[in-house]
Structure formats: C-alpha cells, structure tokens
Amino acid sequence: MAQSGMPDNAQGSTRDAVRWGLLLAAVAVSGYRLPATFRSLQQWRAALPVDPTSALLYRTNFTANAAGIAIVLAVAFGVFYFLRPRAAKHP
C-alpha cells in the first residue's frame, strides 16, 4: 500500500533522495563554516581600532567564508528547486 505524498515509482524516490541529500549536505557544509565565519567577524571588529591593516586579513577571511556559505546554499536551494517533482498535466 502506497502512502499519500510519496512517489510510487523508483525514479521519483531516487530524485527525492538526491534532492534532500544535497540540501542536507549543503546545510552541513554551511554549518561547518559558520563558526569560523563568526570568529573572523569578531576578530575583524576587534582588530579594526588597533591595527587597521591586519584587520583587512580578518575582513578577507570573513568575506570569503560568508560568500562560500551563500554560494553553497544558493546552489543547493537551486538544485533542490529544479529537482522537485513534476506536476502532472491534465487536459
């Protein structure tokens, strides 16, 4: 007996598994990078009044980490969206 809301063919099930797996992996990667990003932000803000030239390194680290998180999540949500189940066409 098939459950409602679940695809009844193997291709739909595989597609859903890939969708959710990629989204979960992207969230895991973003979560792994988040503490380093927050630490870089704190170090940048602390170094700014003391030594502005060394603060640039922390700003660069923060920017690279934040951009990496944004790119990974954007690609994951895009793939998640494009792999969604197709709507049935009714005449």
Average pLDDT, integer, range 10-15: 73
pLDDT level of residue 10 (50, 70, 90 thresholds): low
pTM of the entire structure? Answer: 0.75
- How many helices (H) does the chain have, and how many strands (E)? 2, 0
The string of DSSP codes covering 38-56 is HHHHHHHHHHTTT-HHHHH
pLDDT given for residue 15 in this prediction: 84
Indicate whether 2 pLDDT > 50: no
Residues 79, 19: contact at Cβ < 8 Å?
Answer: yes
Cα dihedral: 86, 87, 90, 91 (round 10) = -70
Question: pLDDT of 32-77, one tens digit each?
Answer: 999 999 999 999 999 999 998 889 999 999 999 999 999 999 999 9
pLDDT given for residue 9 in this prediction: 60
